Amino acid sequence: MISKEDIIKRFVSYVTVDTESDPASDTTPSTAKQWDLANALVDELKTIGMQDVTIDKHAYIMATLPSNVDHDVPTIGFISHFDTTPDFTGANVKPQIIDVYDGKDIVLNADENIVLSPDYFEDLLQYKGQTIITTDGTTLLGADDKAGITEIISAMEYLIANPQIKHGTIRVGFTPDEEIGRGAHKFDVEKFGADWAYTMDGSQIGELEYENFNAAGAVVKVKGKIVHPGYAKGKMVNSMYIATEFINSLPRLETPEHTEGYQGFFHLYSISGEVEETVLEYIIRDHDLGHFEARKEMMQKLTDELNNQYEREVVTIEIKDQYFNMKEKVEPVMHIVDIAEEAMKQLDIKPLIKAIRGGTDGSQLSYMGLPCPNIFAGGHNFHGRYEYVPVESMIKATEVICKIAEISAEQNK
């Protein structure tokens, strides 16, 4: 059996190390503090008996669990990231362990009246009677994706301790900077040497995903002209008003707060402006490649129309693709999804096969030649003070890893 106490101890030891990444940095990893956990993970992998444990100059960690069967079995991989998002502080995390959750409000911080309530977060009620780890309300938790690392290392330790469970060669990989979109940028797929892999980076128990958004970022700059407001008639051009025209010309209901499932969106996530210049920063998302391209074209067309309206270049736009839907790369090898689905079914977990409304390292790795679906890690409410993870979900994810390894060996006898 997977030890509940060991899972909790391991997870807490990881989340109490600050590994927040920084999008403004041009180094890899983007913050020096990510090395603290990375080096500790290397030591731990060696301690539990993993082979070929390496860490490169960019803090990418790889290790091997050798095959214990005498026939050819595909090499499979499991991957998670150790950085946490810069969206909310990950410093001085103080996990709270709620034993036998009673289905009622959880007071995270009495002094600041911060409450994790099932009235708002209905998913909590799925875990009544289980052990839940929360924050103290002042930080994120870091289950994204230290739960995944906990599960991978715990699974490797379990397989090493139980050689009667047959498996082929297993590779594990831990990456920095996933939260700022760079987790796979310097991942050496050839060195990793797996036929396929799984990121343990999903949310609630049962999630199994092989579709994600096509993604782009757009920076819109609007130029104005500043003169004394008392003498501005016919002279001043207020960039903020033109920027407002741009914002209001995009479909108002095609934004994150109005979309779900396979619906794409435009998301204005940053705005800074003065009379002379306003800068809008957007992300563009859609699962359908045709719709994705149409969204980018819409923004370019709007830019052109405003420039024609003002009879000069008042608006410029720079659009950069970020990642693409991994479905195109995974569908030709759908047996790798089938194996994960079968593993869940054998463990009495209901598979929740759905599209990711986001992206993972797996989307980029799939386009780098390593097909890489995503499996639940168990956490909820990522990137904020209300993040939590049920311990039983982490145990189940650990069991899924072991079962995938076992099924892969069995199918290739």
144 among the known binding-site residues? yes
**Known active-site residue 342:** no
Task: Please answer whether residues 379 and 389 qualify as being in contact, where contact means their C-beta atoms are separated by less than 8 angstroms.
Answer: yes
Task: Please answer whether residues 237 and 224 qualify as being in contact, where contact means their C-beta atoms are separated by less than 8 angstroms.
Answer: yes
Q: Cα separation of 299 and 266, whole Å? A: 10
What DSSP state is assigned to residue 84?
Answer: B
Q: Cα separation of 62 and 52, whole Å? A: 8
81 among the known binding-site residues? yes
Beta 196-202 vs 374-376: how paired, if at all? parallel
228 among the known binding-site residues? no
**Known active-site residue 36:** no
Cα–Cα–Cα angle for 148, 176, 367, nearest 5°?
A: 85
SS3 389: strand
Q: From the candidates 18, 22, 44, 83, give the one annotated as an active-site residue.
A: 83
Task: Please answer whether residues 19 and 84 qualify as being in contact, where contact means their C-beta atoms are separated by less than 8 angstroms.
Answer: yes
Task: Please answer whether residues 380 and 41 qualify as being in contact, where contact means their C-beta atoms are separated by less than 8 angstroms.
Answer: no
Q: Cα separation of 42 and 172, whole Å? A: 11
201 among the known binding-site residues? yes
151 among the known binding-site residues? no
Q: From the candidates 44, 136, 178, 399, give the one annotated as an active-site residue.
A: 178
Binding residues for Zn(2+), as ranges, are: 81, 144, 179, 201, 383
Which residues are known catalytic residues? 83, 178
